[in-house]
Amino acid sequence: MAEAAHAPREEAIDALRAMAAALPGATVGRRPRRGLAGGTRASRRRARRGLGGALRTNMTPMIDVVFQLLVFFIATTRYAPGERVIAMDIARRAAQAPAAAQAAGSAPEAPPRDPFALDDESLRLEVAADGTVSAGAPMRRTLGPAELRAALAAEIRLPGRAGGMFEPSFPIVIAPADSAPWEAAVATLDAAVAAGFRNVGFERKPGSSEAARP
């Protein structure tokens, strides 16, 4: 049984030898190893089992490079962890006169109107370059950026609360000066939305599709 199993193997080895003879410099079997050839019996046994003989391609530099690349890309990838968005609808065209944009999630105006409600005009908040906000017609106040939210919240009319001039759906038009920094403009929008107004937007000038300054 064992003899029968060995016979084809011997044939295969002979065939390999014949192939090896055709290739110059090739040997069949274990490659003679330098350095380890004359060790103790235990060290030779270890060398026979170890990685060195079986792994022809040295993987170490490749893995090194792969990990270097990995660390590089992990370290240089930028995330945007603190980014938030304020959604705002912009009217299609500046044609409708005070084109107030509607804040997201606003409900359509309720049909029964308060007879004492103000006209359909809007509250204009002009933002100056230094961040102060002057509120227009019905309110007529100049506010610092810090007090803006509280002042707007005091003017909003909510069910079950006394006082307040404006419905939450009253349009608020923010008109920043050309030189006003973007942060001041956004802070005003943010304050109005946080106070509870649902119909807040930036003023649009008709025909303003080119930059204001040359």
Identity of the residue, 83 or 114, whose beta carbon is nearer to another protein in the bound complex: 83
- Determine the straight-line distance between the first and last CA of the chain, rounded to whole angstroms: 97
State whether residue 61 is helix, strand or coil. Answer: helix
* Segment near another protein (CB under 8 A); pick from 35-43, 116-124, 157-165, 205-213: 205-213
* Segment near another protein (CB under 8 A); pick from 56-64, 110-118, 130-138, 164-172: 56-64
Identity of the residue, 123 or 193, whose beta carbon is nearer to another protein in the bound complex: 193
Regarding 120 and contact with another protein (CB under 8 A), the answer is no
Q: Which residues lie below 8 Å from residue 171, measured CB to CB, with a gap of 6+?
A: 98, 100, 120, 122, 123, 199, 200, 201
Q: Minimum Å distance from CB 134 to another protein?
A: 15
Q: Which tokens is 182 given?
A: 């973007």
Q: Minimum Å distance from CB 116 to another protein?
A: 28
Of residues 148 through 177, those in contact with another protein by CB under 8 A are: 149, 176-177
Q: Which tokens is 76 given?
A: 């240089």
Instruction: Pick from 15, 18, 62, 154 the residue near another protein by CB under 8 A.
Output: 62
Q: Which tokens is 209 given?
A: 């599709």
Identity of the residue, 117 or 158, whose beta carbon is nearer to another protein in the bound complex: 158
Q: Which tokens is 29 given?
A: 């079997």
- Tell which residue, 163, 167, 160, has the closest CA to residue 195: 167
Q: Minimum Å distance from CB 68 to another protein?
A: 10
Sheet holding 133-135, edge to edge: 141-143, 133-135, 123-127, 172-176, 200-202
Q: Minimum Å distance from CB 42 to another protein?
A: 16
